[in-house]
Structure 1
Amino acid sequence: MQMLCQIDTPDYASWKTAFDDDYEERMQAGLSQLQIWRDADHGSTVLVLFEVNDRKRAEAWIAKEQGFGGAMTCTFLETV
């Protein structure tokens, strides 16, 4: 299963630093980063694709991240 997260950030550089620092927590949540995209026109929207090894832990990670107040939406995806 994969998960696609859209994050809206006014400061990509600061977001990326914090995201990189959160690596260990994502691993503990059963998430492996597959790809990151950035909006080519505005740069304020970031999409991150993860491989999900444990949906319940991934959902807990999402709740924690959304608790910081940033705009983030995530969708779980499966290959059909």
Structure 2
Amino acid sequence: MSTQLLLRFDSFDQEAFDSDAENRAHAGLTLLQMWREGSATRWALLSVNDGEKARAWLDQAKALGHGPAEAHFLETA
């Protein structure tokens, strides 16, 4: 069973997202897909290698004010 993290960003800053790549990698997250919905919303699907580190990264991103509007941890069925 594998785990993914689906994120929705209502306002998306590509430069900020790209600059956070190293932090995501240290949290065991790998970007699999990115989708655009309308002009501002972005969806990102990430592979999760360490759920605890991924949750800590997500909590920190939200605390810093640049986290996603929604986050869903999903497992393959």
Taking structure 1 as the reference length, the TM-score comes to 0.85
- Counterparts of 2:65 and 2:21 in 1: how far apart (Å)? 19
Gaps of 5+ in 2: none
Give the match's secondary structure for 1:36.
strand
- Is 2:8 aligned against 1:6? yes
Gaps of 5+ in 1: none
- Counterparts of 1:65 and 1:55 in 2: how far apart (Å)? 15
Which of 56, 63, 66 is 2:62 aligned to?
A: 66
Q: How many residues align structurally?
A: 74
- Counterparts of 2:58 and 2:69 in 1: how far apart (Å)? 8
- Counterparts of 1:62 and 1:46 in 2: how far apart (Å)? 16
Paired residue for 2:47?
51
Give the match's secondary structure for 1:26.
helix
% identical equivalent positions: 39
For 1:31, the aligned partner's letter is L
Q: How many angstroms does 1:43 deviate by? A: 1.6
Give the match's secondary structure for 1:69.
coil
Taking structure 2 as the reference length, the TM-score comes to 0.88
Q: How many angstroms does 1:67 deviate by? A: 1.2
Which of 67, 74, 77 is 2:74 aligned to?
A: 77
RMSD, aligned CA:
1.2
For 1:65, the aligned partner's letter is A
